[in-house]
A and B are shown apart, each in its own frame.
Chain A
């Protein structure tokens, strides 16, 4: 099965559907002659569609990267303390320097996200390797603790509403031209990961193999942290946290294609984009002309997929044991 061409064919119709779906009806083929329709298309629909595609692709790639850094499949950017770190950075800069320029807020969010993700990596290094489920649990605990720190600070400083916009279920309904462009930075960070795909794949084989092949684990680890933190920070600050993409998509793709990341990362990116786009369109259609936030739709669909993955994994392991026991 050729996944890449199949996905490349699937995405354009989805994007076209996204351009046509919304409260006001717009015919994209005749928009050229209708200034009102053109305005809706260029200022709202197109930015929204691009934002969704960039977010889905970048989060899915970030998921692959964090999973190869921690060598555990049950971790995503939303369960590694990364999103909460980004929110913490935004909050701190909003308190300390309310009039700060956008680039500074982004830098603060990215740096904090990097720090909390590094903290997660430091914590799980001390966990027994065989206990696969301890890693995601540690991530959930860390995310929970960081989240409550953010909420506490937000509460104390009357910035809770501001905070909720980042940590609550993500939503693309507010995306307009001029208010989503930071997501291109997330897309660029994900593209950077593709150039280092072999390095992440080798790191996923373990420190021993990586060192034997002359690869510095630390350098790859730092690069991976940058990718995950930048992607997550840009997404969180622009549209809020989008759950399950970074967790589920890498698992599904790995099941079919394996972990040769040079080959699989483009498929991961397109799959993430298609999944989030489909969920966003669904959210716009369920109770048209009103909307469900995409975070909610993905929460339901993603959780279902994740349960399926959890259920399938041990079954495979058992079959393996029997075959060669």
Chain B
């Protein structure tokens, strides 16, 4: 379980998070939803220790993120931030291979190589694994980054808008794979997601954020209601149902 207790955060003088207390259950796929600027990415980055925690406490399976050595955390959680431009010319296989670094620290063994090939396979990259990052499309690059996080093989997977740049089929395949990891692999995942119906279709647990606070928290049926979402996005939405899951309707 990820336990967040009394976390506040500022960037410069701008308050981003106000006294957040929340829990993300282990063995579940948790989706962070909310309008732009709600603080979802910041919260994820704090859990993944990409930013130092200014106030409050974050624990991942009992490990205090602020005090646990970073190399120990790298075996507990993998975080995929929003993609930034990478100047390095790496082949996709080499990039995914760096996901194994926390395990081998410079001396990859057969198990590491197998994990890399498996991750490349899982994201349909095996055929282009020898290409350089700057020779593939944005979606392929995004999949390579996700494959790198998978190869890290941690209990927790934190993904910040992993569906960016992915077409419908690859987005669906990623969600299915994530759910497979969670249901069958005993892993846990937290993802920031903008397209709310991906959360509706695949998430086990939803945390809705607005203005740096938790607006609602719970299973999809409890959070994805007309009242909660209309308030969350300041936009009228209605909720339908598709294959037994909520479907958020917000066209016109």
* Chain A residues in the interface with B (C-beta under 8 A): 68, 71-73, 129-130, 198, 201-202, 204-209, 211-216, 254-255, 258-260, 316, 320, 323-324
Q: Does B134 lie within 8 Å of A320, measured CB to CB?
A: yes
Which A residue sits closest to B139, measured CB to CB? Answer: A324
B89 partner residues in chain A, CB cutoff 8 A? 254-255, 258-259
- Within 8 Å of chain A (Cβ to Cβ): is B138? yes
Which A residue sits closest to B158, measured CB to CB? Answer: A212
Q: Does A201 lie within 8 Å of B48, measured CB to CB?
A: no
- Within 8 Å of chain A (Cβ to Cβ): is B70? yes
The distance from the CB of A217 to the nearest CB of chain B, in whole angstroms, is 10
Which B residue sits closest to A213, measured CB to CB? Answer: B101
The distance from the CB of B161 to the nearest CB of chain A, in whole angstroms, is 14
Among B73, B88, B106, max chain A CB count under 10 A is at: B88
Q: Does A258 lie within 8 Å of B132, measured CB to CB?
A: yes
In the complex the two chains form, what is the Cα distance from A130 to B75 in whole Å? 32
The distance from the CB of A73 to the nearest CB of chain B, in whole angstroms, is 7
A254 partner residues in chain B, CB cutoff 8 A? 89
Q: Does B138 lie within 8 Å of A213, measured CB to CB?
A: no
Pull 14 A–B residue pairs with CB atoms less than 8 Å apart, ordered by A. Answer: A71-B88, A129-B85, A202-B101, A205-B88, A208-B81, A211-B70, A212-B50, A213-B74, A214-B69, A214-B74, A215-B74, A254-B89, A258-B91, A258-B94
Interface size class, chain B? 35 or more
> Which 6 pairs of residues, A with B, have the shortest CB-CB distance?
A214-B74, A214-B71, A259-B88, A258-B89, A324-B137, A208-B81
- Contact A212 to B87, CB < 8 A, known contacts A205-B98, A260-B94: no
- Contact A213 to B94, CB < 8 A, known contacts A72-B87, A205-B88, A208-B81: no
Which B residue sits closest to A129, measured CB to CB? Answer: B85
The distance from the CB of B207 to the nearest CB of chain A, in whole angstroms, is 21
A72 partner residues in chain B, CB cutoff 8 A? 87
In the complex the two chains form, what is the Cα distance from A259 to B91 in whole Å? 8
Besides A68-B88, A205-B88, 13 other A-B contacts (C-beta < 8 A): A73-B87, A129-B84, A198-B98, A201-B98, A204-B87, A205-B95, A206-B86, A214-B75, A216-B70, A255-B89, A258-B89, A260-B91, A324-B138
A260 partner residues in chain B, CB cutoff 8 A? 90-91, 94
In the complex the two chains form, what is the Cα distance from A254 to B134 in whole Å? 12
In the complex the two chains form, what is the Cα distance from A169 to B72 in whole Å? 48
- Within 8 Å of chain A (Cβ to Cβ): is B170? no
The distance from the CB of A132 to the nearest CB of chain B, in whole angstroms, is 8
Q: Does B101 lie within 8 Å of A208, measured CB to CB?
A: no
- Within 8 Å of chain A (Cβ to Cβ): is B99? yes
A316 partner residues in chain B, CB cutoff 8 A? 134
- Within 8 Å of chain A (Cβ to Cβ): is B102? yes
B134 partner residues in chain A, CB cutoff 8 A? 316, 320
- Within 8 Å of chain A (Cβ to Cβ): is B189? no
In the complex the two chains form, what is the Cα distance from A201 to B88 in whole Å? 8
- Within 8 Å of chain A (Cβ to Cβ): is B78? yes
B42 partner residues in chain A, CB cutoff 8 A? none
The distance from the CB of B113 to the nearest CB of chain A, in whole angstroms, is 14
Q: Does A211 lie within 8 Å of B91, measured CB to CB?
A: no
B79 partner residues in chain A, CB cutoff 8 A? 212
Q: Mark B13-25, 1 if CB is under 8 A from A, else 0.
A: 0000000000000
Which A residue sits closest to B132, measured CB to CB? Answer: A258
B172 partner residues in chain A, CB cutoff 8 A? none
Near A by CB (< 8 A), chain B positions 68-125 give: 69-75, 78-81, 84-91, 94-95, 98-99, 101-102, 106
Which A residue sits closest to B84, measured CB to CB? Answer: A206
- Within 8 Å of chain A (Cβ to Cβ): is B49? yes
The distance from the CB of A218 to the nearest CB of chain B, in whole angstroms, is 11
- Within 8 Å of chain A (Cβ to Cβ): is B8? no
- Within 8 Å of chain A (Cβ to Cβ): is B188? no
Q: Does B87 lie within 8 Å of A214, measured CB to CB?
A: no
In the complex the two chains form, what is the Cα distance from A202 to B74 in whole Å? 14
Which A residue sits closest to B106, measured CB to CB? Answer: A198
A323 partner residues in chain B, CB cutoff 8 A? 137
Q: Does B72 lie within 8 Å of A214, measured CB to CB?
A: yes
- Within 8 Å of chain A (Cβ to Cβ): is B152? yes
B102 partner residues in chain A, CB cutoff 8 A? 213-214
The distance from the CB of B91 to the nearest CB of chain A, in whole angstroms, is 6
Q: Does B132 lie within 8 Å of A213, measured CB to CB?
A: no
Which B residue sits closest to A263, measured CB to CB? Answer: B94
Within 8 Å by CB of B50, from A202, A204, A208, lies A208
The distance from the CB of A159 to the nearest CB of chain B, in whole angstroms, is 40
In the complex the two chains form, what is the Cα distance from A139 to B71 in whole Å? 33
